[in-house]
Each structure stands twice: as structure tokens, then as C-alpha cells.
Structure 1
Amino acid sequence: MTRGDSYTVFFDQLLQKNRPFAAWSLPGETAPEILLGEPSDILFLEDFDRLNGQEGFVFAPFRIDENSPLILMKPGVYLKDEKAIKAFDIEALPSLECKTPASRDFYIIAQENYLKDIDETVRVIQSTKLSKVIVSRIIPAKRGNESIGELYMQLRRQTPNAMVYLVNLPGAGLWMGATPEVLLQSKGKTLETVSLAGTQSRRDDSDYRWHTKEIEEQAFVSRYMLDVFYKFNIHPYTTQGPETLESGRVAHLKTSFNFSAKKVEDKLGDFVAQLHPTPAVCGLPKSKAHRFISTIEKHDRRYYSGYLGPWRMNDCIRLFVNLRCMEITADNYMLYSGGGITARSVPAEEWDETTKKATTLLSAIEAVQTNDFNKETHSATGLFTAGQRN
């Protein structure tokens, strides 16, 4: 068994048994971390600030509703490396009942209608106090017989500088993603949050040129971060950037903000509730953008543009915004992708940007499906040749 195969088998076995789990690997990490739980370990919280005093793995939606609860999986079995999963007796884990999820309709918008929506969004921005709003869409891809465990490991190989995750949680379902955007993470006695916005295709020569629209889009997010700092009396703080961050097939503009963890140690849940959703996934002013999204988008975002990660596990926080993600159904991969719309936006370019952002996941799906096809073809050819020899 080659390196990585044991993870593939392990994840597939967990899914076959319908076990609640979260697997994630942080940027630059060589192995996934895995948290296994029982149904009794799953908490459904009523508001984002209810994370105060809690610990575990959090999976938060864009907005909380009956179809998309805020989920916290309390600390259970924690496995850090390949040696640990090989030593774990997965056969002893009982299978859990797999309830057939309620049928959901995924609204797939046609390009013509999406362009009309962006035209309308630009018109509203130009005629109101709305400065920026994120408009997203769902991009479907057909699911075959490929291993979900193998797909996750492929995505890890392709995006080593992202937080790559796979979760199977009651109330949410099966999700996978590779997100580059930090919402909040601890670094010893300091905390870091990140302003990330602006997108272009990744360049082999790393010679990036950023345009006014992209620079303004990223500046909106940075200004919002500073407004939140002011509300929580956070000073001093340090900044780094804007600089280019490469992730998968795309690159973004990024600014990092670092400050003392003592400033919010007794109100971490409140601080995260104020940060989320950031202008990078919602818009500015946030309340107006949030309302506009609910009218312009015809689909349910669910956990796209929410956040996820270990929350105060071993005194560590690693929360990432849930970008470059997909909801996995029995027959399809439903990829979520959005773009920041400003007064300078060109509708056709925004369609292209959402397509571009989806390539991170689509390329991993294609690689695994192509590999499976080649295996099947090789196997069939081998059998046919053997028959000829006989």
C-alpha cells in the first residue's frame, strides 16, 4: 500500500459506516488531522456567539436556518498521522443508520440569467449606498464510482497551501473543499485574521498585475476588519500586505492582521460572530449586502461562505472561510463559486471568474475520474488480450 492509500481506505470506510467525522489538513501540513465522533457528540447551536466557552470542530453556515444549522462536534477520537489511523480498529466501529436525506432542489442558473443578475447588481450598487456584494452560483459536476477518499487526497496534493477538508456531519451532509482564507487562527499568544479578495489565474512566473477593481475589492475587506477591531478595542495590531497568495489554480490579494489574544480571550465567540460573514463573502455595508444576496440568489448557500475548523481544541483555533467547496450528493458534486461585484464589474468577466474559481475542485475530480477510467480500460484490455492468448 503506497503512502496515502491508507487514508483513502480509512475515509471510504468511515463513509460506508456513515460515521460523523471531520478531516482537515492545514496549509503546509504533511498529513490530515481527523476527529471522529458519536451522534451524541454533535451540538446544534442557535447563534454564532454560542461558541463562547465551547471546544471541538465547528462547521458553520453562511446563515443559520433549519436546513443549515451551526454544528459543533465535541472532541472525541483524534487521529493525527498515518500511524495512528493504521493502529485504529475501524472494524470495531458500528455502522450507523443512513437516513435518506430529504430531496433538495439545486438551482443551477443559466449564463444568460446570471449576466442579467450581475447587470442588476451593478445598477443597484451605482444607485445606492451598497459598495460591494458577492453573488454566487452552483456549478454541478457528475459523480461517478470514484473513491471520495481518493478525491480528498488528490485535492490535498493539488492545493498544499490551502486548508483542505472532508466532513460528514448530521445536519450538514458530506462536504469537501480547499480554502485559502483564514477567518481566525491562533499563533501562540497572538491571533491572526486575514483580508482576502481579488482573483486571477495563477501564473507560472508569479509576475502578477492587479487592477483597480481587484485592489478596491480587497481594500473593502481590510477596512471592515479594522472596523471590527475598533468595536472590540483591539490595538495595537500589525499588518502584512497586501501581497499575492497562490492557491490551487488561482491567486488572490491578501493582508494579514495580528493582535494579542488577550484582547478577546473571554469573548471569542462574539468576535467571530462579528467577523462573519466578512465582506469577502457578503459585501459592504454588510447588512445591506446580506439582504440583497437573499433576493438576488435563487439557491441556498448552506455552508458555502460559512466557516469551519478546530475551535479551541488543545488551546488552538484554526478557522477558515468555507470557499472552493462542494456539497456531495449521491449522483453529483455541487460546487459553489462566487465573485465580488462592485460598480466596476463587467458581467461576462464575473461569470468567467466563478468558472475559474471552480477549477480547483473540478481539476481534482477530473484527475480522479480519469485515473479510474484508465484503470478500468487497462483492466478490460488486459482481460481481452488474455482471452486472445487463450
Structure 2
Amino acid sequence: MNYTEAFPLTTQAESLDLLLLKGFESGGSFAVWRKPKSQKLEFLLDESESPERVDLAFEELPAGFIVHPFADQEDKKAFFIKSSQYFSLELGQSQENQTLPDWVKVQTDPSNQPIKARLRQMLVRQSEFTAAAEAESDRKEHFIRLVQQGIAAIEAGVMEKVVPSRTKRIPISEDFDLGKTFLEMLEAYPNSFVNFFHIPQVGTWIGASPEILIETKGERFYTMALAGTQPAKGDNPLKSAAWTQKEIEEQALVCRYIVDCFKKIRLREYEEHGPKTVMAGNLLHLRTDFRVDMQATGFPQLGSVMLDLLHPTSAVCGMPRKESHEFLQANEDFDRSFFAGFIGPVNIQDETSIYVNLRTASIKGDTAILYAGAGVTEDSDPEKEWEETELKCQIIGKFIQKPSA
């Protein structure tokens, strides 16, 4: 007997638990996600035990999910979760009209352990890597010093902007419910790319990113410039938001970087809309949208070309990119891993949607490591930049630390 027979599926939570458990018990890699403003929950599984690494020319790839770290590898390749199995369900619809596929088979546990407990056990076991109780990158003093060093380098003319980051370690409780947490994030962040992925011996991550890096739908290409951060306040935060000159200039730098990338490839025909204030969780940002007709411009591989040019963006690294990246490598003192890298589904139903991996946490056994950065210019206040990272850490951290009902 298997779980799909022993436990009739009456809720989407049960379906999600089974999909997640199937992913872990397969011994392979898997990802589950929901795109912004979508009601479709998507899941794919790669049952091969060794993770595949691929070039960034994604137009040539089969359907799958791409995962790339912040720092380029020597060969500039990304991890790729190939879609051996794919399944989607419509959120908010009755489970009676949606049936899990036959390949979702989960064997009965001889000890008759509840499925949620078994899922948590698999999560901890599969993500068990050595993680220090606290690292230098967790400490406020380290981050404040890093911001001060960044301001000094900007004032010296080395760069215009830099985006230092930090970590924050929080314990995962014994009754942590991965499926329930994921569903709560879906509800809380309708405008974000809510995701969870696991690659054996590489990493286990959960997040809700507000930022598209590149997207292609048929002949249409899309990207965005997202920068500037403030807490959402009041009854109508989108209308009451007031932006400082520092935040406006920070966002303008990101826009300029995208336009400079277009110029490098001699692309002049593009639409630019913004900036406008948008909400992501409990934070507000400034966003400008860019669109290109790839057929009209004769540029069918614009997606992978821009992916290579844009990453890492000035919103997660700084400007100029070379100097800001060198500053971070010399002073940040920790491995960002997949934080501020890029992730997302590739070539699924004629669409590719790749996001900057922000508002995210890596899971390492009984510990979650949160990541956050802040854009630093010559007008930055180190204390306020620390407060900004605390707000960003809360976006995922408050769900992981939330006690189960």
C-alpha cells in the first residue's frame, strides 16, 4: 500500500506534502514554484542522482529549472534540474477536480509515521551540511564596517554603488511544517516568485523573489530594474510612498545599466515603462519595466545574451560591475552561494522565467540561513542599511520561525 491509497487527497496541502516527499525520496533534484500573479503551482522532478550543469544558452535546453550562484564558476555553467516529471495544479480550485499523477508514489512507512513528520525528517536529513552556529557575516559590527568601507570606496571614486550583504541564522523548530509554510508564503506574497528547490549535496533553498532577471514568452523579451527599499506603511502604502534622492538615484543606476547592456549589443528598439512604486511583501520598491519584440528586432537569442550581460545586476552587486564585484570579493568574507544568483523554470510551455534569487533562505539541517543585502551609495547611513537587511530577512524568516498551530 502507498500513501496515495492510504490517505485520500482532500486538500492541496496534502498534495503538496506528497510532491515534496516524493522529491526527497527520489534521491534526485526537484523544484516547486508559483510565478507572480499566477494561480498555477508547478513541480518538476529530475530523478538522476548526479546534478547536471549546463551552459547559459537556455534556448537550446530541454524543459527544466535552472539554478546559478552569485559568483560565476570558471566554466560559467549553471545547475539544471531536468524535467523528467512535471505536474501543475490550479490553486484555489477544488482538489476533487485535480488528481495527482501515477508517478507520485510514496511507499508506506513501516513505523506508520505521519506524512508531515516524515517530510520534515527527510528535509533535515537531505539538507544536513556543516553550518556554524554563527558566522562573521551574521554580526552587525561586520556589516556596519562593510558599509563604511563601501562608502569610503565610493567617495574615493572607485565605484558609484555597491551592494554588501549579510547572513542571519535561525533555528528550525521540531514541528516545522514545510508544506504549510510554503502555502502560507504563496498567500502572503502574490506578486513574488515563491519557490523551493533541492539539489542533493548542493543545496536546499526556499524563497519569494520580487525580481525578474529575464523572461521570454514566445517572441517577447522582458526584464526589470528593481531598486530602492522602504517599509510599506499606512492604509494605502503605494500612494503614500515618498522616495529620497538616494533611493531615486540608486534605481536610476540600475536602469542605466540595463540600457547600457542594450547598447552593447546595438539593440535600440525597446519599450521602457516606469519607474513606479511596487509592493513586495511588507516592502516597497521602485521598478522600471523593459520589453523587446525579439522577432521584430531579429534577435531570437536575446534572452540568453541578456542573461549573460545582466548577471550579476547592479541591484545585487553595484556599479561599475567589475569594481563593485572585486570590492565584495575582497571584503564580504562569506560565500553568497545561490543568494543573488538566478533561478527559474526554462522552456516550459514556451516560456522561460528567470528570477534573481532574493528574499531567500538556505536550509541546512535544523538551521535556516537567511540572506539580505542593501544598496550603498555615498549618501548611505550604515545603521539604516542594517535595518533594511533586517526587514528583508523577516520576509522569509518570520515564516520559518512561526510556531505551528
TM range (shorter): 0.7 to 0.9
Correspondence for 1:160 = 190
Amino acid at match of 1:29: S
Amino acid at match of 1:343: E
Correspondence for 2:156 = 127
Please give the secondary structure, in 1, of the residue aligned with 2:334: coil
Q: Which has the higher helix share?
A: 1
User: Which of 339, 355, 358 in structure 1 is aligned with 2:390?
Assistant: 355
Correspondence for 1:384 = none
User: Which of 52, 73, 81 in structure 1 is aligned with 2:81?
Assistant: 73
**RMSD of aligned C-alpha atoms?**
2.5
Is 1:28–2:55 an aligned residue pair?
no
Give the whole-Å Cα distance in 2 for the aligned partners of 1:162 and 1:217.
Answer: 22
Offset of residue 69 of structure 1: 6.6
Give the whole-Å Cα distance in 1 for the aligned partners of 2:108 and 2:225.
Answer: 43
User: Which of 204, 207, 210 in structure 2 is aligned with 1:174?
Assistant: 204
Alpha-carbon distance change, 10 to 216 in structure 1, aligned in 2, over 3 angstroms: same
Give the whole-Å Cα distance in 2 for the aligned partners of 1:171 and 1:290.
Answer: 27
User: Which of 310, 319, 323 in structure 2 is aligned with 1:275?
Assistant: 310
User: Which of 186, 193, 196 in structure 1 is aligned with 2:223?
Assistant: 193
1:213-362 residue pairs with structure 2 within 5 A? 213-262=246-295, 263=297, 264-266=299-301, 268-362=303-397
Superimposed CA distance per residue, residues 83-139 of structure 1 (whole angstroms, 9 cap, x where no aligned partner): 66623442268999x778653545443212221221111011101230001000001
Superimposed CA distance per residue, residues 237-272 of structure 1 (whole angstroms, 9 cap, x where no aligned partner): 111110011011111100000011234323542321
Amino acid at match of 1:221: V
Give the whole-Å Cα distance in 2 for the aligned partners of 1:308 and 1:272.
Answer: 11
Give the whole-Å Cα distance in 2 for the aligned partners of 1:282 and 1:149.
Answer: 32
Paired residues, number: 366
Please give the secondary structure, in 1, of the residue aligned with 2:138: coil
Compute the TM-score of the two structures, normalised by the length of structure 2: 0.84
Give the whole-Å Cα distance in 2 for the aligned partners of 1:166 and 1:241.
Answer: 30
Offset of residue 17 of structure 1: 4.7
Point out where structure 1 has 5 or more consecutive residues left out of the alignment: 375-390
Compute the TM-score of the two structures, normalised by the length of structure 1: 0.87
Superimposed CA distance per residue, residues 23-63 of structure 1 (whole angstroms, 9 cap, x where no aligned partner): 11001112310111122684213x6x454522321011101
Amino acid at match of 2:388: E
Query: After the TM superposition, which of the residue ranges 151-160 and 81-90 deviates more from structure 2?
Result: 81-90
Please give the secondary structure, in 2, of the residue aligned with 1:32: strand
Is 1:63–2:71 an aligned residue pair?
yes
Query: After the TM superposition, which of the residue ranges 186-195 and 331-340 deviates more from structure 2?
Result: 186-195
Query: After the TM superposition, which of the residue ranges 281-290 and 53-62 deviates more from structure 2?
Result: 53-62
Correspondence for 1:379 = none
Give the whole-Å Cα distance in 2 for the aligned partners of 1:18 and 1:85.
Answer: 24
User: Which of 5, 12, 18 in structure 1 is aligned with 2:14?
Assistant: 5
1:85-124 residue pairs with structure 2 within 5 A? 86-91=100-105, 103-105=130-132, 106-124=135-153
Amino acid at match of 2:327: F
8 Å Cα contact 2:27-2:48 kept in structure 1: no
Amino acid at match of 2:244: H
Give the whole-Å Cα distance in 2 for the aligned partners of 1:254 and 1:143.
Answer: 33
Amino acid at match of 2:378: A
Correspondence for 1:385 = none
Offset of residue 282 of structure 1: 0.6
Give the whole-Å Cα distance in 2 for the aligned partners of 1:297 and 1:347.
Answer: 15
8 Å Cα contact 1:7-1:149 kept in structure 2: yes
Query: After the TM superposition, which of the residue ranges 212-221 and 81-90 deviates more from structure 2?
Result: 81-90
8 Å Cα contact 1:161-1:247 kept in structure 2: yes
Amino acid at match of 1:24: W
Offset of residue 276 of structure 1: 0.5
Point out where structure 2 has 5 or more consecutive residues left out of the alignment: 1-9, 91-96, 110-121
Query: After the TM superposition, which of the residue ranges 314-323 and 169-178 deviates more from structure 2?
Result: 169-178
Percent same amino acid at aligned positions?
29
Structure 1 runs of 4+ with >6 Å offset: 93-96
8 Å Cα contact 1:163-1:178 kept in structure 2: yes
